[in-house]
Amino acid sequence: MTEESELQNQPKLPIVMVLDQDEIFHFIISRVLNRDGLNSQVINFNSVTSAVSYLLENAEETSLLPELILLELYFHSDQDGWVFIDLFEKIKHRLIRQPKVLVVSYTMKHADVSRIGSNQSIFDYVSKPLDSESIDFIRDLIKPH
C-alpha cells in the first residue's frame, strides 16, 4: 500500500473552529478535544474577519470546513460573536457543509439566551468556564458516529 492510499484510508479528523480572543481558551479546548483517544483538528481564530474569510476561502472544500464552530459572543473589539452570526447567516448557503455553531461564553444575559434560542444558525450554547458536562457535550458533537 502506498503512503498516499494509507492517508486516504485513515479516518478524517473532525475540524473544530474556535472563535475567541482568549488564547488560554484556545489552548484548553485544543487539549480537551485531543485526549482520551478523541482526536480533532482545532483551528483557532481571534477575529471575526479572519474566521469568515477562512470559511469563504474553503466554502467548497469539505475536508477543510469545520463540523463545529465554538463561538464566544463578546470580544474586546467592535466585532463580536453577534457580528459573526450576522455574517455567517449571509454566507452559510455558500458552504458545502453547514457547521454547527455552539456559543461558548462567560456572559449569558437573558437577552442573549433569548436571541440564541430564536436564531436558526446557532445550535446551542454552554457557559464558561467549561465543566465536565459541557466538555462531554462538546466532545459528543464531534465524535464519529
Q: Look up the CATH architecture of domain 20-127.
A: 3-Layer(aba) Sandwich (3.40)
How far is Cα 31 from Cα 46, in angstroms, rounded to an integer?
18
Q: Categorise residue 80: left if φ over 0, alpha if ψ from -120 to 50, beta otherwise.
A: beta
pLDDT of 89: 97
Q: In whole angstroms, how far apart are CA 92 and each of 37, 81, 86?
A: 31, 15, 10
Q: What is the mean pLDDT of residues 50-59?
A: 98
SS3 70: strand
pLDDT of amino acid 121: 94
The pLDDT value recorded for residue 145 is: 60
Banded pLDDT at 71 (limits 50, 70, 90): very high
At 10, the pLDDT band (50, 70, 90 cuts) reads low
Q: How many CA atoms lie within 13 A of 119 on its CB side?
A: 22
**Count of C-beta atoms within a 10 Å radius of residue 124:** 14
Q: What is the pLDDT of residue 76?
A: 84
Q: Identify the pLDDT of residue 55.
A: 98
pLDDT of res. 35: 86
Beta-bridge partner residues of 136: none
Q: Is 143 exposed, middle or buried (0-12, 13-18, 19+ CB in 10 A)?
A: exposed
Q: Report, as an integer, the average pLDDT of 104-112.
A: 86
**pLDDT tops 80 at residue 25:** yes
C-alpha cell belonging to residue 125: 450554547
Mean pLDDT for the stretch of residues 8-33:
87
